[in-house]
A and B are shown apart, each in its own frame.
Chain A
């Protein structure tokens, strides 16, 4: 590493050094609020509750990860790693689920959970990525951030699948704006009703091939747009965070704080209030419910290091353990009032699991740009917003709902060089030069909420701490298969019409979990008989318990959900504090 680089990094580190977190939850076991989990939604819950003056305890099942200080691989190059990113057979066992994503390597493995210590049962294939550390998967997410629209919030009501969302776009729009201004979302405004614009920082740039294909698609396929991804990457400094430096090393932790993570953004803000305590190694065993009071009084944890059971009490509890872990906690929280799990009067707890379809699309080669290249590794791609079933004109009878595309263009990497039927001096000199241009798109389709896509508590398989685990039983069905078929056909058509060569359509759908957009299993609804949560994410029958992570989702849309989790969480926290002040909870 050069001297100049060291100066850059350490100079920057000094600037953003933050106050230490209060991790001493030994003396005090009573708080105003408890937040279970510190990922994308938990970080927001902590920030909002702390800023509104509540003494807040965040329970994190893993270790502390302090921004910058705990990003050990953020600046290392391939040759700095003994195996250049490769994993040993033992490590492959530790990450036996998440490794299927293709994203686990030496440089990122410390942000993926130990799958061996935390087993689960795949009734049907399910790739589960978990982030058991402060910040959770906010250190690993894809940063794609899109608002949902009434096309999404009205979908269940219109076609009768699942139950109606208890909210509409107008209820959440101000909260989208609120979280966007603090998180920092870069992107381009389009004015599309099916994909409302966010409060944007300047968009990232398309490269020459992407610009070319954009113009072809928008000319040849009226009604379709191709834009740079809207993403939680700063393109301008914001609140002391630096802008993106185009290193594309996000999954190692960003020393500039340029992408949104709990570690860089919400938890430091919560900490600055003086109201935050974060307790690491705290596995929530259950939420304690008081039958007489008709509400929850606290949380029982197991210390992951000592196995000690400890109770913490609070007036309000936010569940943000991530979709399936939150549902597991609710299922494990039984009482004489809730024999089948907290808030499960409806019998819907654990049901209606959803994910997005993934890795169906097309890829091709692009001629005519061999004299062009780009500079920088942009951690973002292109987006083609949904264009089917958005109005009467675009309605199809082949399937319900719709899909969008993500993808991008670039010059081929070195793997492609192994296919060239040549070797020797000229071959070597040739592959030192940039490879041919390629471009691909892959669809993300909405999954209907099916009652029989579900998780159940499994008392036969226990985790390292003796706790029951989950059996996961979810699959894409006929509607999603029809969507995937259309995705591939449309992808091939768009690329061929845009003049690409050797266009290959592909369907690498492997089933649930690969989209890493698992949603549902504790859905919001209008009727306690058919839902687990009300319109403000309060558990039916335990109004001081809020679920604002992916578990709360009533449908899945086709667009990425994290921004919606942020907005729903901020909205629910605001409601919680207002109800607390009115002595309603």
Chain B
């Protein structure tokens, strides 16, 4: 539960000076819930929470691991830290800030402070309004790639990080490092999930 909703629900939003002990503990528990349990290399704690919350919603835990289970957020932070140059890093900060500014405009709070229903609305809007990636051939994009925006880029990074993680790559997808031969036409039911490599 986020602070704003908690306060609204308890009716103390309009400047009550003294908080009851039970309410205090409720607010503290909210805070504890969203405290980051890892140390980002590049992102601020709030930025990291934004990324973690987003990718958890895109790739949640089901009967298979979710993005957070395989530390997709930690890896994305590392990618920002180690593969982006300064201008690229600055752009990411600006994009996360703009994303949160949109959330504030439309829902009154930064993304991590919204309740689940509002977050769902944010993602649905982002899906519908974000650009798409062009197809690629031999490692390069075909045609002129228009910017896809923060959400689609992050989603793409999350998918890359998820599929290239050891747990998903070796245990959830079909891991076959040395196929030894090629069979060009087999029933998909013989394989199940996609090949890993």
* Interface size classification for chain A: 35 or more
**Which residues on the B side are within 8 Å of A375 (C-beta)?**
176, 179, 181-183, 186, 191, 195
Of A73-81, A493-501, A551-559, the segment with at least 4 beta carbons within 8 Å of chain B is A73-81
Q: Which residues of the other chain, B, contact A196 by a CB distance below 8 angstroms?
A: none
Given contact pairs A5-B177, A376-B179, A433-B193, A418 touches B159 in the complex (Cβ within 8 A): yes
Do A421 and B180 have beta carbons less than 8 Å apart? Answer: no
Say whether, besides A78-B164, A79-B164, A432 and B172 are in contact (CB < 8 Å).
yes
A416 to B3, CA, bound (A): 37
Report whether B163 and A438 are in contact in the complex, using a CB–CB cutoff of 8 Å. no
Bound Cα distance from A376 to B188, whole angstroms: 13
Smallest Cβ-Cβ distance to B70: which chain A residue: A79
Q: Which residues of A contact B160 (CB under 8 A)?
A: 84, 414-415
Identify the interface centre among B139, B170, B178: most chain A CB within 10 Å of its CB: B178
Chain B 62-88 interface residues, beta-carbon cutoff 8 Å to A: 62, 64, 66, 75, 78-79, 82-85
| Contacting pair A363 B194 (CB below 8 A) | no
Set B127, B166, B183, B197: member contacting A422, Cβ < 8 A: B127
B60 contacts the other chain (CB 8 A): yes
Q: Are B188 and A208 in contact (CB under 8 A)?
A: no
A374 pairs with B185, CB closer than 8 A = yes
Given A207-B184, A432-B64, the answer on whether A504 and B142 have CB atoms closer than 8 Å is: yes
Any B CB within 8 A of the CB of A347: no
Nearest A residue to B155 via CB reads A418
Q: Mark A64-76, 1 if CB is under 8 A from B, else 0.
A: 0000000000010
Contact A432 B193 (CB under 8 A): yes
The answer to whether A83 touches B58 (Cβ under 8 A) is no
A424 to B28, CA, bound (A): 28
In the complex, whether A508 has a CB less than 8 A from a CB of chain B is: yes
Contacts of B180 in A (CB 8 A): 245-246, 376
Task: Report if A87 contacts B (CB, 8 A).
Answer: yes
Q: A182 to B181: give the CA distance in the assembly, Å.
A: 22
**CB of A419, distance to nearest CB on chain B (Å):** 5
Contact in complex: B169, A414 (CB < 8 Å): no
Cα-based distance from A508 to B136 in the complex (angstroms): 11
Q: B15 at interface (Cβ–Cβ under 8 A)?
A: no
Name A374's contact: one of B60, B182, B192 (CB within 8 Å): B182
Q: A8-B178, A418-B156, A424-B58 are in contact. Are A506 and B143 (CB under 8 A)?
A: yes
For window 384-399 of A, CB contacts with B under 8 Å fall at: none
Cα A428 to Cα B72 with chains together (Å): 14
Residue contact B83 to A417, C-beta cutoff 8 Å = no
Residues of B within 8 A of A506 (CB): 137, 142-143
Query: How would residues 113 to 140 of chain B score, 1 for a CB under 8 Å from any chain A CB and 0 otherwise?
Result: 0000000000100011000110111111
B133 touches A419 (CB 8 A): yes
Choose, from A157-165, A283-291, A365-373, A533-541, the stretch at the interface: A365-373
Inter-chain CA distance A210–B185, complex, in Å, is 10
Contact pattern, A 172-213, Cβ under 8 Å of B = 1, otherwise 0: 000000000000000000000000000000001111101100
Q: A377 interface residue, CB < 8 Å from B?
A: yes
CB neighbours of A79 from chain B (8 A): 164-166, 169-170
Chain B 139-170 residues near chain A, CB threshold 8 A: 139-143, 152, 155-156, 159-161, 163-166, 169-170
Residue of A nearest to B178 (CB): A245
A205-B184 contact, Cβ under 8 Å, with A79-B165, A419-B133, A429-B62: yes
- Interface membership of A411, Cβ < 8 A: yes
State whether the Cβ of A247 lies closer than 8 Å to any Cβ in chain B: yes
Number of A-B contacts (CB under 8 A): 188
B interface residues, tally (CB under 8 Å): 63
Chain A: CB-nearest residue to B59 = A428
Contact pick for B194, options A422, A423, A434, CB 8 Å: A434
B187 at the interface (CB under 8 A from A): yes
User: Of all chain A residues, which has the CB nearest B87?
Assistant: A89
- For residue B135, which residue of chain A has the nearest CB? A363
Partner of B139, one of A102, A245, A246, A417: A102
Contact check, A210 vs B58: say whether CB atoms are below 8 A apart: no
Closest to B179 in A: A376
Contact between chains at A373 and B83 (CB < 8 Å): no
Q: In angstroms, how far is the closest chain B Cβ from the Cβ of A108?
A: 11
The CA-CA distance from A411 to B193 in the complex, in Å, is 12
A377-B179, A424-B58 known; A438-B135 Cβ under 8 A: yes
Task: Report yes or no: B185 in contact with A207, Cβ–Cβ below 8 A.
Answer: yes
How far in angstroms is the closest Cβ of chain B from A364? 9
CA–CA, A371 and B176, complex, Å: 20
Bound-state Cα–Cα, A411 to B75, Å? 26
Q: A434 to B188, Cβ gap below 8 A?
A: yes
A465 at the interface (CB under 8 A from B): no
Q: In the complex, which residues of chain B have a beta carbon less than 8 angstroms from the beta carbon of A211?
A: 184-185
Q: How far does the alpha carbon of A416 sit from the alpha carbon of B194 in the complex, in Å?
A: 14
Min CB distance A30 to B, Å, is 46
Would you call B188 and A423 a contact (CB within 8 A)? no
Q: Does B6 contact A (CB under 8 A)?
A: no
Picked from B64, B83, B163, B182, the residue with its CB within 8 Å of the CB of A376 is B182
Min CB distance A68 to B, Å, is 15
The listed residue (A205, A371, A438) touching B183 by CB distance below 8 A is A205
Q: CB distance A374 to B184 under 8 Å?
A: yes
| Residue contact B57 to A423, C-beta cutoff 8 Å | yes
Among B136, B165, B172, B184, the residue within 8 A (CB) of A206 is: B184
Residue pairs across A and B with Cβ atoms less than 8 A apart, 22 shown, are A78-B169, A101-B139, A102-B139, A102-B140, A103-B139, A204-B182, A207-B184, A207-B185, A211-B184, A247-B179, A363-B137, A373-B186, A373-B190, A374-B184, A375-B186, A415-B160, A418-B152, A418-B155, A423-B123, A424-B58, A431-B159, A508-B142
Extra pairs beyond A373-B191, A432-B172 (11, CB < 8 Å): A77-B170, A84-B164, A246-B181, A372-B185, A374-B182, A375-B186, A376-B182, A377-B179, A422-B127, A423-B59, A429-B64
Which residues of chain B have a CB within 8 Å of any CB of chain A?
Answer: 57-60, 62, 64, 66, 75, 78-79, 82-85, 123, 127-128, 132-133, 135-143, 152, 155-156, 159-161, 163-166, 169-170, 172-173, 176-195, 197
